A = this chain, B = another copy of it.
Amino acid sequence: MRFISQTSSDGVTERLFNLGETPGVLWTPEGADGARPLILMGHGGGQHKKAPGIVARAHHFVVEGGFAVAAVDAPNHGDRPKTEGFARIAAELRAGMVAGEDTTAQFVAMHTFLAEQAVPEWQAVLTALQELDFVGTGRVGYWGMSMGCGLGIPFLAAEPRIHAAVLGLLGVHGLADTAARVTVPVRFLLQWDDDMVPRAQGLELFDALASADKTLHANPGKHGEIPEFETGSSLRFFTRHLG
Q: A216 contacts B217, CB within 8 Å?
A: yes
Q: A217 contacts B215, CB within 8 Å?
A: yes
Q: Is A163 an interface residue (CB 8 A)?
A: no
Q: B218 contacts A216, CB within 8 Å?
A: yes
Q: A214 contacts B203, CB within 8 Å?
A: no
Q: B218 contacts A218, CB within 8 Å?
A: yes
Which residue on chain B has the smallest CB distance to residue A233? B233
Which residue on chain B has the smallest CB distance to residue A206? B218
CA of A207 to CA of B192, assembled, Å = 8
Q: Is A98 an interface residue (CB 8 A)?
A: no
Q: How many residues of A contact B (CB 8 A)?
A: 17
Least CB distance, A199 to chain B, in whole angstroms: 9
Q: A229 contacts B240, CB within 8 Å?
A: yes
Which residue on chain B has the smallest CB distance to residue A237? B229
Which residue on chain B has the smallest CB distance to residue A188? B218
Does more than half of chain A's interface fall in helix, strand or loop, or is it mixed?
mixed
Point out the residues of chain B lying under 8 angstroms from A99, CB to CB.
none
Q: B229 contacts A220, CB within 8 Å?
A: no
Digitize A186-213: 1 where CB-to-B-CB distance is under 8 Å, 0 elsewhere. 0000001000000000010011000011
Point out the residues of chain B lying under 8 angstroms from A234, CB to CB.
none
CA of A192 to CA of B216, assembled, Å = 9
Q: Is A219 an interface residue (CB 8 A)?
A: yes
Q: A215 contacts B219, CB within 8 Å?
A: yes
Point out the residues of chain B lying under 8 angstroms from A240, CB to CB.
229
Q: B217 contacts A217, CB within 8 Å?
A: yes
Which residue on chain B has the smallest CB distance to residue A221? B212
- A and B contact pairs by CB, cutoff 8 A, 11 listed: A192-B207, A192-B216, A203-B203, A206-B218, A213-B227, A215-B217, A215-B218, A215-B219, A217-B217, A218-B218, A229-B240
The 3 closest A-B pairs by CB, nearest first: A216-B218, A215-B219, A217-B217
